[in-house]
Amino acid sequence: MSSKRTLGFVGLGVMGGPMSINLVTRSGHEMIAFDLSTESLDRVVDAGAKRGASVVDVAEQADIVFLSLPSIVQVEAVAAELLSATNPPKIIVDMSTSDVTRTRALGALVDKDGVELVDAPVARLRQAAKDGTLLITVGATPERFTDLQPLLSCMGSDIVHAGALGSGQVIKILNNMVVFQTVNALAEARAIGTAAGVDPKLLFETLTLGSADSFVLRKSALSTLAVDSFPVKTFPTVYAIKDLNLALQLARDEGVPTASADQTMKLLEATRDAGYRDEYYPVMVKLIEGGTRK
């Protein structure tokens, strides 16, 4: 890595906030952070980061800048701001969930300015971000992966080299696609079981003992579908739609049919249109059971 060895972090939200705190407290490096939310930035500064005045301010001081942003749209915009600095960073690590094709195009664009883009999207839940036990799939050269692995290990317990730029996004997007389809199947199971007179909590607890067991069943279904609890500001329906759209676009680009994922997308869109856009997306069960928001 560069001798400057100052880290930057832009995007301090639900996932980026705890990730950045783990990075600054565990890495031993100076870090400058920035977010449009003063409250979010305050928390990271309290943990030991320097307060950035802007994205460009971060770029001027940091050799490596980590991003945790809502989508490729924001990633492209922030990357443009980073490149506009007099002394831009040498490496940008995008830890957002982003479009594969646009990620690779962005990599080619920033490379013209001597900046290297790495994609390192994260998987697992918000608690894993707090605990530093995320799964991080990395698209980079083998040499860059080796360089960044100690820093990424401050935020994740499983760091996987997925291949060249964009490959980390491929694995993350497909992980989410499988999760959404699994929740769809579990929601259907709840609807059928309930209609047939079986308690949903008992149903799911029993499924964990058989071959239907899964991480999604134990971590998501038992805390949401089993107890009919779908909190807002967790991972809302509109976020699930955004991520599943990335998988469907990738499938279209590669010419692969996706009948099952298409069905899940239609259900998620119907859930959003019924008024459940901000609830945790397993609320899709309401539509399976014939419910709509009044």
Q: What is the pLDDT of residues 246-277, one digit of tens each?
A: 999 999 999 999 999 999 999 999 999 999 99
Report pLDDT for 78.
98
Distance (Å, whole) CA 154 – CA 86: 29
Distance (Å, whole) CA 31 – CA 26: 11
Spans in the chain with pLDDT lower than 70: 1-4, 291-294
Report pLDDT for 2.
42
> Which DSSP symbol is given to 281?
G
Place of tokens 């998988």: 247
172 is catalytic: yes
Distance (Å, whole) CA 184 – CA 241: 13
- Helix 38-46 to helix 16-26 angle, to the nearest 10 degrees? 20
What residues does 51 pair with on adjacent strands?
33
The answer to whether 7-164 and 170-288 have equal CATH topology is no
Of 190, 199, 200, the closest CA to residue 288 belongs to 190
Provide the whole-model pTM. Answer: 0.92
CATH architecture of the domain 170-288 equals: Orthogonal Bundle (1.10)
How does pLDDT run across 72-90, given as a tens digit for each residue? 999 999 999 999 999 999 9
Catalytic residue, from 172, 219, 233, 242: name it.
172
Map out the domains of the chain as residue ranges: 7-164, 170-288
Report pLDDT for 73.
96
Buried b (16+ CB within 10 A) or exposed e, 109-146: ebeeeebbbbbbbbbbbeebbeebebbbbbbbeeebbe
**Domain 7-164: which CATH class?**
alpha beta
> Which DSSP symbol is given to 218?
I
Q: Which two tokens stand for residue 33?
A: 């952070």
Q: How many residues does the chain have?
A: 294
**Integer Rg of the chain from CA:** 20
